[in-house]
């Protein structure tokens, strides 16, 4: 499973809010909602987040293997 839990921590460290992503960087409320629910977002969205936050992909995304 892919999770975006690290994104929220990184955003807090960088003093970035969901409001600023929507208002100033053109993110939609739907994109934010998908991130909160660990749903699909495009690689472009992840790339833009890394650029905005000046971070690496592993600072916002985590892979957790499914238990079998």
- Residue 68 confidence (pLDDT) above 90: no
Most distant CA atoms of the chain, gap in Å = 42
- Give per-residue burial for 52-61: e unless 16+ CB within 10 Å, then b: bbebeeebbb
pTM metric for this prediction: 0.90
- Residue 40 confidence (pLDDT) above 90: yes
- Domain positions in the chain are 2-63
- Residue 67 confidence (pLDDT) above 90: no
Tell me the C-alpha to C-alpha distance, in Å, between residue 22 and each of 2, 31, 65. Answer: 23, 9, 31
6's CB contacts (< 8 A; 6+ apart) are: 58, 59, 60, 61, 62
2-63 CATH choice from 2.60.120, 2.60.40, 1.10.260, 3.40.50: 1.10.260
């Amino acid at each position: 499973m892919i999770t975006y839990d690290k994104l929220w921590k990184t955003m807090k460290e960088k003093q970035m809010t969901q409001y600023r992503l929507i208002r100033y960087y053109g993110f939609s409320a739907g994109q934010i909602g998908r991130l909160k629910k660990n749903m699909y977002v495009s690689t472009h969205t992840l790339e833009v987040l890394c650029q905005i936050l000046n971070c690496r992909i592993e600072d916002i995304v985590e892979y957790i293997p499914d238990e079998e």
